[in-house]
Amino acid sequence: MLKHLLLKHSIAKTMLVLALHASVTFDAWSTVRVQNEPFPAHRHAVELDPLMRPFSKGPRMYPAINLLPLPLDALILRAKSRRAKMIVYTLAVAAVTAEIVTSKRNMNLYDQTAVRYHQQFVCTGCRAEK
């Protein structure tokens, strides 16, 4: 029974760490996608996080952004008491949620700009689609 509970908690910890790194990687991909696309409105896109700004223009963003959650990973893996686990898990879930919301905002920005670019420059004689 104890082995089963320990295995269950170790799987939960591993899944939480993977979700955290997947969400920051998705955020990095969406940021690089918005900043590197050829649409005129994206030429002035700027990374707002001052720590990530030097890395935001290219593939260097992926390893740099995956270093940010390492302290939280250490807390997740070292949490022993029930209260500490609840606090750390809540922080990790909040971080994953924030990264997903930020990525979704980047994707919406990209899509809206792509539609405007298409309507203004590519499809000048087309009807505006709703």
Listed by start position, the domains of the chain span: 2-122
Nearest-angstrom CA–CA distance, 81 and 27: 31
User: Directed axis angle between helix 82-117 and helix 2-36, to 10°?
Assistant: 30
> pLDDT at position 8, please?
65
Tens digits of per-residue pLDDT, 81-95?
888 888 888 899 999
All residues at 6 or more sequence positions from 65 whose CB lies less than 8 Å from its CB, including other chains = 24, 25, 27, 28, 52, 55
Q: At residue 81, what is the residue type?
A: S
Would you give the DSSP letter of residue 122?
A: I
pTM exceeds 0.85, yes or no: no
pLDDT at 40: 59
Amino acid (1-letter code) at residue 51: L
Reported confidence tier of residue 49, pLDDT bands at 50, 70, 90? confident
